Structure 1
Amino acid sequence: MEENSPSIAMVPCPGTSHLITQIEFAKRFVGLHPAFHVTLLIPTLGPPSPSMNSILQSLPPSIHFTILPQVNPHDLPPNANPASLMLLTVTHSLPSLSQALASLTSQTHLVALVLDTFSIDAIEVAKRFNLPAYVYHPTTATTLAYLLYYPKLDDDGIVVSRKFGELELKEPLELPGCMPLHAHDLLDAIPETSDDLHGMLVQLSKGLHMVDGILVNSFVDLEPGPITALQNVCPVYPIGPIVQIESNISSDSSECLSWLDNQPKKSVLYVSFGSSGTLSQEQLNELAYGLEMSGHKFLWVVRAPNDGVANSSYFNSQKKGDPLEHLPKGFMDRTKGQGFVVRSWAPQIEVLRHGSTCGFLTHCGWNSTLESVVCGKPMIAWPLFAEQRMNAALLSEEFKVALRPKVKEKGIVEREEVSRVVKCLMEGDEGKEMGRRIEMFKDAAVKAFSKDGSSTRTLENVVTKWKTLKI
């Protein structure tokens, strides 16, 4: 790295999905501005996983990385939710982050520090080095609005009470420019960590109000109301949709693509709950029977069930053993020819881009959601945790590109309901209309990313600010 070459440093937070989207932003950035270098300074809770190592080793030459020393797990509170763990890991990594930045500033002309939303505490390090601090917010402008306004909800008398990690509201929450949000659409927590979550959200909000700018992984034609409203109160830059262009395809994962090659056009439902989402054994059974009952073709990424918290595998390895052993007895034989089951992981962007794929049953993580949008695939919204319920509300009620299954007692979606929404998406008039609508968003996404598109121009405006800084 040349001493006078301009560069930015980025601080992801733990969690593969957060790292991936920051890397994709870095690739987009250096692709548009090859004179720049990017260095990822990565806080960790444990040694890098094989998948993370594979991702990092395949970075282009102008993107570098440093894995910061691991945080001692004993320094973190027991039973903390994953969001708090992400935030605390970065907080405990600040001394090593300072050392890494000191070394970096001696080697290159550093013009900005770009943080993940959950790396917000690193703003104090940016100030110590007299660097502008920006946040790359990897999800929606609507979620950003919720975080920014969160501390005022109590002050304005909107919140009736907090119990079991849920907000109780007097009426639907109407943030500036956003669709009305009900209490069940908002960020959740497990009962033991509700106070932990509340304090974390206040901390995030405070930090977001202190940064020099917020880069949002959304685009104007997708969220015009929230983006315009936010830009009236703080420096917000919509630069999305930032998504993976391709997956690291292995020989095992290529089998599902070969299977798709032999299916009729728009005949397959892709089913996946992201890199960390898990279902209970009961829900796994109901989903399996529902897919079978629908009669439609499916490609399903199956993970071993977890009867605890849906996001309990966020930082942990998946259960040992074969996930297929947990499927209902005889399911694989009965659905032979109808479905293709993949263990734990599939090359998602290639599956969604494939002509045989008609729709996507998704957990509504924003990376997956945007990938579905840019590939023009309507969705069945099945949120599990974090901001996914808010994303599901946007997809089904605001964008109208997704169906949301009805949940029965104990939070279970029964097999008959699974079959109903699959049929509706794959063969019903509502599914066809959603397909037409998401094609419009797909075209808008392409336009936003074009040479003169809104997201490209917005990123150019940010880079112009960085180029003129005298550090």
Structure 2
Amino acid sequence: MVPCPGHGHLIPFVEFAKRFLLLHNNNNGVFFHVTLLVPTHGPPSPSAIAILNALPPNMDFIFLPSVTMDNIPNPPTHPIPRMKLILQLSLPSLRQSLTSLSSKTTLVALVSHFFSIDALPLAKEFNIFSCVLYTAGATSLSFSLSFPMLDKEKINHDHQESLDLPKTVNVSGCPVSFQVKDLPDLVHFPRSSEIYKSYLDACRSLTLVDILILNSFNHLEGEAIQAIQRGKTSSGLTGPSVYSIGPIIQTESSNEANKLDCVTWLDNQPPKSVVYICFGSGGTISHEQVNEIAHGLELSGHRFLWVIRPPSKISGSAYLVTKKEDPLEYLPSGFLDRTKGQGLVVPSWAPQIEILAHGSTGAFLSHCGWSSAMESIIHGVPIIAWPLFAEQKMNAVLFTDVLRVALRAQQSDAENGGNIVVTREQVAEVVKRILESDEGLEVRKRTRELSDAASLAVTQNGSSNMGLSSLAQKWLESIA
């Protein structure tokens, strides 16, 4: 398995492998083993090391040699082309690792991340299955499969530098249309940019792989999953075999930082009373937005547990860059003293699984990253949708308008420096809506229903368990 850099991308790979090995560790005397081949640029993060050091005996990992960009003119700074470049520079060492593994055992599959997809031609060299573990949802995958055709149809190559789209875009298998502004942010960059090219290249490659493994389940995105399986995405391509095996989430946090403080504090709060705020492992917001959230939480009067990071103008900047500043210094003056009995603010990291599973947690103000959303749904915690980048705006539309497990702050048209800032009044209003209103009760009820459906999907005869069994059988047949 070849994840891409960033521990947030590593987690679904580890959890998928654990689930697979737990259910299929001995098939008629055949024992599966998983090796994670991890591309690196600089030393691995402590969180990645903690995750990998806790692997079970039938899994291991190899950190590929750290690559350097010293000889690359103008190396990319955006996370997506940067992750793809790190993988491309790691291909020689990846090939060497696969050669070494093939001399010791029988290889059956090479599983990559969407943005590690440049590794998959190596699968043909070793005559094994090429697979992508698509860590976002089926709706996002349906759009990604259709995007190359959309690009081809809508671009006048001689005169147009950006994608000319209609006001709304339909995605096969999704009952609502998407506003152009809610499509993945990568499509809005100039076509000549490395960011756009990286996404388009990855989307084109999806149709060339043997197997797509999807972190979703039938009750959640059944129509989109069926549309992909029928090969009736907008691209008109039949594409690879699709196995829906989700939800894949962590069962416990891999890092002990702040765990005792958070759980002890939650133990002393009333049931369903706390709003948990976290923008994922890669999400950051502006200093002004930090201030507005702080004042909004204070204004709401509701309890909160807030994971705060140093602000940034780039919403995804935390993926590959670690800031050393104390994030608490960016809070409004006197905020921590004034909210001492109302909330808990923790810097940089918190035990998300334990927080979402806690009975005192009543809502999750989330960036709508797919893994975080799955964790929230499984634990029956409704979402305040606050998308930042990647496919998160599509997810937010899905969660609010289709699945009805989320509410969203009512934003004004006021902008500052090109960025829409959600005001303190709007923050307070959405917190009150989700915790106090009849609308919030309906969202909570719907979230509990999907939580039950998620639990059923991974039971012995559940749809996702059956998908995992079919995948195991396909791999076994290759060595029969």
TM-score interval (norm. to shorter): over 0.9
- Secondary structure at the aligned position of 1:207 is classed as helix
**1:40 equivalent in structure 2:** 36
**61, 77, 90: which one aligns with 2:57:** 61
How far apart are the structure 2 equivalents of 1:262 and 1:158?
Answer: 57
**2:372 equivalent in structure 1:** 368
Structure 1 residues 39 and 330: alpha-carbon distance in aligned structure 2, compared to 1, 3 A threshold: same
Counting only pairs closer than 5 Å after superposition, residues 376-391 of structure 1 correspond to structure 2 as: 376-391=380-395
**1, 16, 22: which one aligns with 1:31:** 22
* Structure 1: 5+ residue stretches without partners: 1-9
1:90 counterpart = 2:87: yes
For residue 212 of structure 1, report the CA deviation from its aligned partner: 0.6
1:422 counterpart = 2:413: no
**271, 292, 295: which one aligns with 1:289:** 295
- Secondary structure at the aligned position of 2:220 is classed as coil
**448, 460, 465: which one aligns with 1:451:** 460
**Could you state the TM-score of these two structures normalised by the residue count of structure 2?**
0.92
1:217 counterpart = 2:215: yes
**1:4 equivalent in structure 2:** none
**2:447 equivalent in structure 1:** 438
- One-letter code aligned to 1:338: Q
How far apart are the structure 1 equivalents of 2:391 and 2:172?
Answer: 18
**108, 122, 140: which one aligns with 1:111:** 108
How far apart are the structure 1 equivalents of 2:311 and 2:178?
Answer: 30
**1:21 equivalent in structure 2:** 12
**8 A contact 1:141–1:218 mirrored in 2:** yes
For residue 74 of structure 1, report the CA deviation from its aligned partner: 2.7
How far apart are the structure 1 equivalents of 2:272 and 2:195?
Answer: 41
Structure 1 residues 288 and 132: alpha-carbon distance in aligned structure 2, compared to 1, 3 A threshold: same
Structure 1 residues 50 and 126: alpha-carbon distance in aligned structure 2, compared to 1, 3 A threshold: same
**1:3 equivalent in structure 2:** none
- One-letter code aligned to 1:24: E
For residue 169 of structure 1, report the CA deviation from its aligned partner: 2.1
How far apart are the structure 2 equivalents of 1:109 and 1:344?
Answer: 41
**2:78 equivalent in structure 1:** 81
**356, 374, 388: which one aligns with 1:352:** 356
**2:235 equivalent in structure 1:** none
**1:328 equivalent in structure 2:** 332
* Structure 2: 5+ residue stretches without partners: 26-30, 232-238
**239, 256, 260: which one aligns with 1:254:** 260
Aligned length in residues: 459
**2:185 equivalent in structure 1:** 188
For residue 242 of structure 1, report the CA deviation from its aligned partner: 0.3
**8 A contact 1:169–1:183 mirrored in 2:** yes
For residue 279 of structure 1, report the CA deviation from its aligned partner: 1.3
Structure 1 residues 161 and 27: alpha-carbon distance in aligned structure 2, compared to 1, 3 A threshold: farther
Per mean C-alpha deviation after superposition, the further-off stretch among 454-463 and 182-191 is 182-191
Structure 1 residues 14 and 48: alpha-carbon distance in aligned structure 2, compared to 1, 3 A threshold: same
Percent identical pairs in the alignment equals 49
**1:170 equivalent in structure 2:** 166
**194, 198, 215: which one aligns with 1:200:** 198
Structure 1 residues 279 and 415: alpha-carbon distance in aligned structure 2, compared to 1, 3 A threshold: same
Counting only pairs closer than 5 Å after superposition, residues 386-401 of structure 1 correspond to structure 2 as: 386-401=390-405
For residue 70 of structure 1, report the CA deviation from its aligned partner: 1.2
How far apart are the structure 2 equivalents of 1:176 and 1:311?
Answer: 28
**8 A contact 1:80–1:193 mirrored in 2:** no
1:11 counterpart = 2:2: yes
How far apart are the structure 2 equivalents of 1:314 and 1:459?
Answer: 30
- One-letter code aligned to 1:229: A
Structure 1 residues 162 and 37: alpha-carbon distance in aligned structure 2, compared to 1, 3 A threshold: farther
- One-letter code aligned to 1:133: S
Stretches (4+) displaced over 6 A: 158-165
Per mean C-alpha deviation after superposition, the further-off stretch among 24-33 and 156-165 is 156-165
**1:7 equivalent in structure 2:** none
- Secondary structure at the aligned position of 2:132 is classed as strand
**Could you state the TM-score of these two structures normalised by the residue count of structure 1?**
0.93
For residue 407 of structure 1, report the CA deviation from its aligned partner: 3.1
For residue 447 of structure 1, report the CA deviation from its aligned partner: 0.4
Counting only pairs closer than 5 Å after superposition, residues 456-471 of structure 1 correspond to structure 2 as: 456-470=465-479
How far apart are the structure 2 equivalents of 1:182 and 1:44?
Answer: 36
- One-letter code aligned to 2:9: H
How far apart are the structure 2 equivalents of 1:441 and 1:313?
Answer: 31
For residue 376 of structure 1, report the CA deviation from its aligned partner: 0.5
How far apart are the structure 1 equivalents of 2:295 and 2:141?
Answer: 37
Per mean C-alpha deviation after superposition, the further-off stretch among 259-268 and 407-416 is 407-416
For residue 160 of structure 1, report the CA deviation from its aligned partner: 12
